[in-house]
Copies of this chain bind each other. A is one copy, B any other.
């Protein structure tokens, strides 16, 4: 089952990568008031049960994919195809 995990820095946490990207965008002439950079992880989990896939993805986030002190994550279970 295909699962997408979106990991982004929590509100209030300094995001140096976002600040750097914002600076570069402004140098290129774009007006942006805020930029936050996170990670996107697309997984193909070996189960056909949606709630089990979600549970496994949560466990993966807690153990490896996200640093829960400074990052929040969102799990999207996607239809195969």
Contacts and interface: CB of A to CB of B under 8 A. Distances in A.
Interface of A: 6-8, 18, 21, 24-25, 28, 30-47, 56, 59-60, 63-65
A65 B41 CA distance: 17
Contacts of A37: 39-42
A59 B35 contact: no
A7 to B, nearest CB: 7
Contact of A32 (B7, B21, B46): B46
Contacts of A33: 44-46
B40 A39 contact: yes
Nearest to A40: B38
A44 B15 CA distance: 15
